[in-house]
Structure 1
Amino acid sequence: MGEIREKFCLSLFFVSIVFIQLKSYGVVVEGEDILSLGASITGNQTLISKNGTFELGFFSPNGTNNWYIGIWYANIPEKTVVWVANRETPARNRCGVLKLSEEGDLGLFDATGASLWSVNVTKKPSQALILDSGMRFGGQKKLVSWKSSLDPAPGLFSYQVDPSSGVKQLVLKWNNSVEYWASGPWDGNVFSQIPEMSNKALYNISVEIINSGFHVTYTSIAIKNVLSRSLSRMQLYALLDDAKWTLLWSQPRDQCAVYGLCGAYGICNSNNLQFCSCVEGFTPKDTRAWYSRDSWSSGCVRQSPLNCVAENGSSDGFLEPSVTFPDADSASSYPVTTKEDCQKVLLLNCSCTAFTFNLSSGLCQIWYGHLLNMRTSLPPKSNSNVFIRVAASALPKTKKSSSKKTQLQLLLVLSPLHWVSF
């Protein structure tokens, strides 16, 4: 599908997301955009909005046997999925059936008839209609990223109106807890931290404050389609004449400012095309997503387990990557005399994963659990370095052992008939 499509599959769009509108009024008019009572779609059958902008049907991410009901742009060669109904409950191996029952219940069922997704309504509708128009974003609605381009299940990043009372701004959050970017307050014309929005020649932004909260609506003006997406950053794309999505702007501008972008034991470097790398002794948890630059948030896992069974501590060692201080599940500090004393304290506890020792203060800080949000150190460096705990097998070999190994290999080549003597 190409890199652009893969990135969009990974993302969550809100500017042109289309709702299936359940109507309980008017005359039923049959057409491509309508699902009437008792009707259903399955297989390659689709609904297309009146002006041909959006299409609803079944799709399966490449390389999987999982099927979802979704909405995508109807006339773009690279299928750009903008909404998924059953993102956590795919139909396995075969697409299911989307049906509007005679009672007015819209539901998705797998090949066995098991319910995968449904819409709760208070009034019986007469039909389901796919619209060309967009949506209002805000209030209590929260947009959550996909896990990866192959898995639309909820990821770690979300986009929402600031829940703080009286603050009219948009925020990005990690794991529903850490806020790492804010749009700045709405001043009646633009969000203060998104000056690009002041370009009224491209699109219009309207804000409503009603009982249900603070709502934002985008409308394209000079460009055929303008949409926003949020994986870990807020990005605005435009569809140009060559039918390719072109990035207009993104926030936050620094990729490494995204909290937890590289996941556990990942290191972020905004100067590299591959933003994330694993700490030495670790490997990507999801190699396919990691090396395709699809998603790094799954992080890294140890290549070798820690030694936590020794009675008098462990044989684990420490690596000293040049990184900023990490975030972890918890941390504690102890006064010690030397770095070696700090190491001893850490090795007696299997949940300790890293430490730093400040010589001037004599303070040993220890981190517990997974390490998050590390990035390559930028000058000036502090007088405290981060030491990360790894298994003994992950430590670099000493010069002495490397020399001996090289000599042994040389002797084996020169005297192949005497290999038993070694």
Structure 2
Amino acid sequence: MELVRNTNLSALLVLLSCFCLQFGSATDTITAAKFINDSETIISNGGDFKLGFFSPPNSTDRYVGIWYAEISVFTVVWVANRNNPLKNSSGILTISEVGNLVVLDGQKKVIWSSNLTNSVDNSSAQLLDSGNLVLQGNTTGAFLWESFQHPSNTFIEKMKISTNVRTGKKVLLTSWKSPSEPSIGNFSAGIDVRYLPEFFIWNGSRLIWRSGPWNGQVFIGVQKMYSAYRDGFSLVDDKEGTFYLTFTFSNESFPTNYVLNEQGKLLQASSFNEEDWEVTWSTFKTECDVYANCGAFGSCNSQNTPICSCLRGFEPKNREEWNRGNWTSGCVRRTPLQCERVNHGSEGGKKDGFLKLTKMKLPDLADWSSAREEKCRNQCLENCSCVAYAFDAGIGCMPWTRSLIDLQKFSSGGIDLYVRLAYSELDKEGNVKLIVTVTVIIGVIFTGICIYLLWRWMAKQKGNMHLPLSQRTKIYNHREEEEMLLLNKSEDNHGENVNQAKLEELPIFNLQELASSTNSFHRSNKLGQGGFGPVYRGKLSDGQEIAVKRLSKASGQGLEEFMNEVVVISKLQHRNLVRLLGCCIEGEEKMLVYEYMPNKSLDAFLFDPIKPKLLDWRRRFKIIEGISRGLLYLHRDSRLRIIHRDLKASNILLDEELNPKISDFGMARIFGGNEDQANTTRVVGTYGYMSPEYAMKGQFSEKSDVFSFGVLLLEIISGRRNSSFYDDEQAWKMWNVDNMVALTDLIIREPCFEMEILRCIHVGLLCVQDFANDRPTVSIVISMLKSEIIDLPLPKQPAFTERQIAPDASSSQNNLRKCSINNVTVTMVQGR
């Protein structure tokens, strides 16, 4: 009897094991009997991708999609019911009676289907480790339908973007309408082989970007498409009418994809840490990337001003439009070609020749010829319709018989292009000799003048040596006074530090150069206005973009702050500090030249009604980390110890990748090696960001900057100016009633980030405590943010200086009178 009982138990265990194995092996598969509800997901066999229902940011609509399973940032790569979302969580993904993969709503109505025309028995859908969702029959196992043939906005490894020249069928990427709406947007991207195979981006039916032809390894019109981008790329002709582009990177540990975003940009992104995505390449880096920006026979060079110019031998078709910056009408030939003159009965003259253009993005609409390189030229000359040719070893001979469209000059890479011109347009030898002769004469005259002036200066110096000592001293003192005018010592600037700064250490720009780069400081180039004065965008002759900060005569800041910024920032080098490129002092003009930050300042994103949507929590946390690292460098890691004294959202600039850089060091103070705190009778900075001890007593230290950082941290999390969250619901009250969610910006309220956001709020409150000794140092703040310090102390009630000092205009004035011992300099809270 015991033997029978044991036998039955063993049999039951075997059956259960088989059932579990069968159930486990089906986690990547959907059948008619095993469907998934809204709350369920399936995962590919290797664990790389998940399939299920999701809602985009700031939306309650439900969609069926595929996303990365092992990357922290939720990243959808495919959407089924893009144009027909579910309005609640009652959806089901299953196999229909005729074998289609379908999405059903709560009333079992089909809202999306794979749309197979023929009925299939016992079909099933499987999510592969490539991210491809495939529908297959139970007999042959062949793919009846696959998501890779119906992509959304994301191009992932092993997917095929294709075009069929016989049927006209295309597999294209299509953008989302917005980050919160996956429905098909305005932009599409794919392969076209009307002439040579190229990759294109369209806005509706209008072409806006092209890659240049494929040469077997790269698209030759993509300037920096090196091995890092082409590794595994292939464009295949299957000999049955279909051309397709696919890629498989050799290093599979770093997922990589290409996304066509809502603005029509194609972005390459890689995940190097399974936590976030890093954009490593994108289209539309300059205006020259826009298709046909300079019209026919116009060449675009982003390093020139203006960016468009006619090719040699051509002139603007519409001079008036061209001078206004509208180049779309393009250029026309000045002198007819020889064969054209002969065809019109005129005297032929000398034969045409070719102008060689190097490092070019070749124009669109190229033909193809099997001619070798040496015959390609002659073949073009013999054809009266041929206007240019080029040769690439991977493609062959490329002649053009149409207008040259979408020409671009590259700074590196590119292909040589030979443009056909009339002989008279090429005969420049006499002009070259004249230019060389004039240049040599001018050079000799200029050298002679320099030698004469040098001789006069040396004679004057020699004459001064014979003057009496009292007169020589007077001359010396006069020069010293001029130098001290620039390096004037004040209460807030230690003389020994400032005197070490030499203006000559910094590149000097002349006024004419900066005026030219900013179009004479034209209003259209103005980036903003601060306490220092206006800031203008400019472009130097070498193509480098700059930001020019011009001291205004009406500014409350002056020469002292100007020189202070030169002294401080010229000695600092850090990825999270804005880089000072040089300065200009001519007459009454005083200007600082910085690297240009294309995304302007942080406040322009945080407090804009639309832009905050671009700052998800991951980006915001990255900005917080960057600011804290920059502050740590100022306080501890740089050669000089710097207290910034004006840290705020408008003084945090954002580069192209939204990396933060601390700027505006006009108020900064250099600390001596043993100094921890200093006093001033001249309080500078911005109310709302000032620590209590600094605003009321003029005492400042590293902890003053920590207070400003705490206010800034709370602004980044709330998406509101500090004056807003002081007046509405104080952060301290929210903390006491355990309602910190109310302080959090709606855009970043996601359950998966809640603990991290709450920790950041906790750290922010610790930074804005009333007494400096209670605040952490920046190094401890960084450890808290990284969770290296797990147990955080409870914050004490902060002072909220904004409420105490300036809740309204009248009380602000009263407090200023109360603190009249301080010569207060205040910059506005608004962005510069």
Relative to the length of structure 1, the TM-score reads 0.53
Q: Is 2:392 the counterpart of 1:71?
A: no
Q: What does residue 229 of structure 1 align with?
A: 259
Q: What does residue 128 of structure 2 align with?
A: 131
Q: What does residue 599 of structure 2 align with?
A: 273
Distance 1:241 1:250 in 2: 21
Q: Secondary structure at the match of 1:66?
A: coil
Structure 1 pair 293/75, CA: closer, same or farther in 2 (3 Å)? Answer: closer
Q: Secondary structure at the match of 1:99?
A: strand
Tell me, yes or no, if the aligned pair for 1:40 and 1:99 is still in contact at 8 Å.
yes
Per-residue CA shift, 1:137-168, capped at 9, x if unaligned?
A: 11211211001111011111111112x52320
Q: What does residue 250 of structure 1 align with?
A: 282
Tell me, yes or no, if the aligned pair for 1:233 and 1:258 is still in contact at 8 Å.
no
Distance 1:249 1:230 in 2: 12
Q: CA deviation at 1:252?
A: 2.4
What residue ranges of structure 2 are gaps of 5+ in the alignment? 1-21, 131-157, 164-169, 292-523, 526-536, 538-544, 546-596, 602-607, 616-832
Q: What does residue 10 of structure 1 align with?
A: none
Q: CA deviation at 1:65?
A: 2.0
Q: What does residue 91 of structure 2 align with?
A: 96
Distance 1:240 1:181 in 2: 29
Q: CA deviation at 1:120?
A: 2.1
Per-residue CA shift, 1:227-274, capped at 9, x if unaligned?
A: 111111122111102532111111121279568xxxxxxx99997417
Distance 2:61 2:99 in 1: 27
Distance 2:180 2:290 in 1: 22
Identify the match of residue 219 of structure 2 among 191, 203, 207.
191
Q: CA deviation at 1:43?
A: 2.2
Structure 1 pair 288/65, CA: closer, same or farther in 2 (3 Å)? Answer: farther
Identify the match of residue 182 of structure 1 among 207, 210, 213.
210
Tell me, yes or no, if the aligned pair for 2:70 and 2:274 is still in contact at 8 Å.
no
Distance 2:230 2:199 in 1: 21
Q: CA deviation at 1:174?
A: 0.7
Higher helix share: 2
Distance 1:28 1:128 in 2: 15
| Larger Rg computed on CA atoms | 2
Distance 1:191 1:95 in 2: 46
Q: What does residue 173 of structure 1 align with?
A: 202
Structure 1 pair 168/94, CA: closer, same or farther in 2 (3 Å)? Answer: same
Structure 1 pair 255/152, CA: closer, same or farther in 2 (3 Å)? Answer: farther
Structure 1 pair 200/62, CA: closer, same or farther in 2 (3 Å)? Answer: closer
Per-residue CA shift, 1:194-247, capped at 9, x if unaligned?
A: 254431588310121122422011112225211111111122111102532111
Distance 1:255 1:114 in 2: 48
Q: What does residue 413 of structure 2 align with?
A: none
Structure 1 pair 201/236, CA: closer, same or farther in 2 (3 Å)? Answer: closer
Identify the match of residue 53 of structure 1 among 41, 48, 57.
48
Distance 2:41 2:63 in 1: 13
Relative to the length of structure 2, the TM-score reads 0.28
Tell me, yes or no, if the aligned pair for 1:237 and 1:246 is still in contact at 8 Å.
yes
Structure 1 pair 255/52, CA: closer, same or farther in 2 (3 Å)? Answer: farther
User: Which region of structure 1 is more displaced relative to structure 2, 68-77 or 153-162?
Assistant: 153-162
Map 1:194-343 → 2, pairs under 5 A: 194-199=222-227, 203-210=231-238, 211-222=240-251, 223-231=253-261, 232-241=264-273, 243-254=275-286, 272-273=598-599, 289-290=610-611, 292-293=613-614
Per-residue CA shift, 1:368-409, capped at 9, x if unaligned?
A: xxxxxxxxxxxxxxxxxxxxxxxxxxxxxxxxxxxxxxxxxx
Distance 1:288 1:95 in 2: 33
Q: Secondary structure at the match of 1:144?
A: strand
Q: Secondary structure at the match of 2:248?
A: strand
Tell me, yes or no, if the aligned pair for 1:202 and 1:221 is still in contact at 8 Å.
no
Q: What does residue 177 of structure 2 align with?
A: 147
Q: What does residue 27 of structure 2 align with?
A: 32
Distance 1:43 1:238 in 2: 29
Distance 1:229 1:95 in 2: 30
Distance 2:609 2:39 in 1: 29
Tell me, yes or no, if the aligned pair for 2:61 and 2:86 is still in contact at 8 Å.
yes
Per-residue CA shift, 1:39-62, capped at 9, x if unaligned?
A: 311122111111111100000123
Q: What does residue 160 of structure 1 align with?
A: 190
Per-residue CA shift, 1:1-54, capped at 9, x if unaligned?
A: xxxxxxxxxxxxxxxxxxxxxxxxxx9995111112333111221111111111
Give the residue type in structure 1 aligned to 2:65: G
Distance 1:111 1:291 in 2: 35
Distance 1:157 1:90 in 2: 20
Tell me, yes or no, if the aligned pair for 2:217 and 2:230 is still in contact at 8 Å.
no
Tell me, yes or no, if the aligned pair for 2:102 and 2:114 is still in contact at 8 Å.
yes
Q: Secondary structure at the match of 1:236?
A: strand
Distance 1:38 1:202 in 2: 43
Q: CA deviation at 1:193?
A: 1.9
Tell me, yes or no, if the aligned pair for 2:59 and 2:180 is still in contact at 8 Å.
yes
Tell me, yes or no, if the aligned pair for 1:37 and 1:101 is still in contact at 8 Å.
yes
Give the residue type in structure 2 aligned to 1:33: D
Q: What does residue 362 of structure 1 align with?
A: none
User: Which region of structure 1 is more displaced relative to structure 2, 134-143 or 193-202?
Assistant: 193-202
Map 1:379-394 → 2, pairs under 5 A: none
Structure 1 pair 50/63, CA: closer, same or farther in 2 (3 Å)? Answer: same
Distance 1:95 1:274 in 2: 44
Q: CA deviation at 1:169?
A: 0.5
Distance 1:80 1:158 in 2: 20
Distance 2:600 2:178 in 1: 16
Give the residue type in structure 2 aligned to 1:292: K
Q: Secondary structure at the match of 1:292?
A: helix
Q: CA deviation at 1:126?
A: 2.6
How well do the aligned residues superpose, as a CA RMSD in angstroms?
3.1
Q: CA deviation at 1:173?
A: 0.8
Identical positions, percent: 31
Q: What does residue 107 of structure 1 align with?
A: 102
Higher strand share: 1
Structure 1 pair 40/242, CA: closer, same or farther in 2 (3 Å)? Answer: closer
Structure 1 pair 242/60, CA: closer, same or farther in 2 (3 Å)? Answer: closer
Per-residue CA shift, 1:260-298, capped at 9, x if unaligned?
A: xxxxxxx999974179xxxxxxxxxxx86555348xxxx
Q: CA deviation at 1:67?
A: 0.3
Give the residue type in structure 2 aligned to 1:135: M
Per-residue CA shift, 1:54-80, capped at 9, x if unaligned?
A: 100000123322000000001111110
Per-residue CA shift, 1:293-342, capped at 9, x if unaligned?
A: 48xxxxxxxxxxxxxxxxxxxxxxxxxxxxxxxxxxxxxxxxxxxxxxxx
Tell me, yes or no, if the aligned pair for 1:28 and 1:126 is still in contact at 8 Å.
no
Structure 1 pair 242/100, CA: closer, same or farther in 2 (3 Å)? Answer: closer
Q: How many residues align?
A: 248
What residue ranges of structure 1 are gaps of 5+ in the alignment? 1-26, 260-266, 276-286, 295-422
Tell me, yes or no, if the aligned pair for 2:28 and 2:43 is still in contact at 8 Å.
yes
